[in-house]
Amino acid sequence: MKIRIYYEDTDCGNVVYYANYLKYMERGRTEYLRERGIELDTYHRRGVLFAVAEVNVKYRRPARYNDLIDMETTLTDTSSITFVFETSFYNQKGELLANGTAKMVCIDAGTNRACKIPKELAERIQAG
């Protein structure tokens, strides 16, 4: 997935504001799932939610206003209630700008407690 860096994405130094990488990672996870026929709102209507339990980002090089960066998102780990995505960001020279992981936990909306990932969802995620 490509992301154009707009002025609104940058800080006073004309560099992508660090927290925006979390938004980009969310987009990557959503598109990863969408490519596998998974729409999260379908599960939300069934009372199954997904929450970020842990996130880690390592910043290596700056991305700047008007850059076009490549973002790659992959599934790296799963359990009965969690899945972990890794996202890497590259500039047009192919240099690694940042990379990070996000651990998602499946939540029962009625109890707000962790629950098992629905079987069909787990199968689709892992089939990718």
- Taking alpha carbons only, the member of 49, 45, 52 closest to residue 112 is 49
CA distance 32 to 72: 9
How far apart are alpha carbons 127 and 111 in whole angstroms?
Answer: 29
Structure tokens at 36: 């596998």
Q: Active-site residue among 11, 70, 77, 108?
A: 11
Phi (first) and psi of residue 9, to 5 degrees: -85, -10
What is the Cα–Cα distance from 37 to 127, expressed in whole angstroms? 11
Please state the length of the chain.
128
Q: Is 11 known to be catalytic?
A: yes
Instruction: Cite the active site residues.
Output: 11
